[in-house]
Chains A and B, each alone.
Chain A
């Protein structure tokens, strides 16, 4: 289904805004800070959930599972996504400097 032209036009700046070098750097920093925060909060041991070794019993197992999954996602974002976003922002900034375009910020 085709979107009305007005919607497409209004989406464009917002989507482009998410792909600026600065926004990518911000995302990378947030990913790393969240991961550091979860480390400081002591969530690392909960990843033993992935090998069925629970830190707690009963209903708290759900909490273990939530902490483990949250920590693992934060780790992957910090280790995989954040560096890629930083490299991307550098490449993007370089490209914009060599060949500017109207939409870049």
Chain B
């Protein structure tokens, strides 16, 4: 049968045309989802949606309830990231600072009130009840660290006397909990330490040093040295994500942790943070036909899927959780090509919902929306900390 005869078949012709069409369409598809260079509209949409929720207690309760059924941490983390976003926005737009700070105070006050009413387990998953905390204070560095950072961020924008003492208290708890740990890390859950929470706690300490002249630089240096020796996966050079109090690995390096850890470390030890970011990018970042994404684990390391790592898309090895936090990492380190490719994927697969109430991404939840908003506006808060107290300086600058 000749080639000419073969292509007389309409089916074969159609299949050949189908292949050519796919070869043409798939590589250009990303163009339709690429974000605009100016992210102001996205920021405004995300801000309007989340601010609107906090102004509507009934709707907020439904949205928080939907998250809490799966993971109460998401309720807590969405508060933290939105509060941090508002602090950065207030520093970017001083004319709107009063409005942003009012919402921020509402979030902080409500968070403290919920914790007071329901106890420290309110924002933790149920398995926190399985065993008592090992640290003498029975504190969770997850909660204390994020609350300390929210309070510090508020005070860095504009002092609020009512938050000074609560912030000092949280910083003291965090520091004590971390010092009590053999590897200078505090528990997030009983005998379970997370790099995410401990690096965030270090950032809160840096904010405290910048605000009030407290002194944590020696502890921070000691922590970094210890982390390099005892909390780093030797095969990859990446910080591990979870471990017990003795430093025994529970989960190795994970994308859902490392990108946030590098963001927090940027205000603690910028050179080390950049080094970790570059390794993470090399091992976890992927690109398929212009769509960027991140894997949860390096190719050389695998562990089980859990609620933090989230669903991992088979074949692509794409992790929505890691990819979401990679947006924060890329934004932190000005890696705009990677950032744009990640946002392209988000607009393709995140099902953005634009409406009169603002913008949110249907495939995720309030944590995803607040992390994205934070990624797009972060910068001014860390700059202010570094301005008030450059990293590595042990005494406050004049």
Contact = CB atoms under 8 A, between A and B. Distances in A.
Interface in A52-105: 52-55, 57, 75, 79-80, 83-85, 87-89, 91-92, 95-96, 99, 101-104
Nearest to B321: A51
Contacts of B18: 84-85, 88
A57 B368 CA distance: 21
Contacts of A19: 10-11, 13-15
A85 B67 CA distance: 39
Contacts of B368: 51
Contacts of A46: 362
A45 interface: yes
Chain B interface helix/strand/loop/mixed: helix
Interface residues of B, number: 35
A69 B17 CA distance: 29
A92 B311 contact: no
Contacts of B15: 19
B17 A53 contact: no
Given A47-B351, A88-B18, A91-B21, A53 B10 contact: no
Contacts of B26: 80
Contacts of B25: 80, 83-84, 87
A55 B14 CA distance: 42
A72 B70 CA distance: 21
Among A20, A24, A48, A101, chain B packs the most CB atoms within 10 A around the CB of: A48
Given A52-B307, A53-B67, A16 B11 contact: yes
A37 B211 CA distance: 54
Given A87-B25, A88-B14, A88-B18, A52 B70 contact: yes
Interface string B122-161: 0000000000000000000000000000000000000000
A41 interface: no
Chain A interface helix/strand/loop/mixed: helix
Nearest to A89: B17
B351 A55 contact: no
B363 A103 contact: no
A93 B376 CA distance: 46
Interface string B1-27: 000000111110111011011101110
Contacts of A75: 351
Nearest to B310: A51
Nearest to A20: B10
A103 to B, nearest CB: 4
B69 interface: yes
B262 to A, nearest CB: 23
B66 interface: yes
Nearest to B24: A87
Given A84-B18, A87-B25, A44 B10 contact: no
B362 A84 contact: no
A45 B353 contact: yes
A53 B70 contact: yes
Given A44-B351, A87-B25, A88-B17, A51 B364 contact: yes
Given A44-B362, A48-B66, A92 B8 contact: no
A58 B220 CA distance: 47
A48 B69 contact: no
Contact of B17 (A16, A80, A95): A95
Contacts of B190: none
A84 B365 contact: no
Among A19, A53, A91, A96, chain B packs the most CB atoms within 10 A around the CB of: A53
B29 A51 contact: no
Given A44-B351, A87-B25, A91-B21, A50 B311 contact: yes
Contacts of B247: none
Please give me the 10 A-B residue pairs with the lowest Cβ-Cβ distance, nearest first. Answer: A19-B14, A87-B21, A91-B17, A53-B365, A88-B21, A101-B8, A103-B10, A88-B17, A92-B17, A52-B70
16 contacts: A19-B10, A20-B10, A48-B362, A50-B320, A51-B364, A51-B368, A53-B70, A53-B74, A54-B69, A75-B351, A80-B26, A87-B24, A88-B14, A99-B7, A101-B8, A101-B9
Interface of B: 7-11, 13-15, 17-18, 20-22, 24-26, 29, 66-67, 69-71, 74, 307, 310-311, 320, 348, 351, 353, 362-365, 368
Interface of A: 15-16, 19-20, 24, 44-48, 50-55, 57, 75, 79-80, 83-85, 87-89, 91-92, 95-96, 99, 101-104
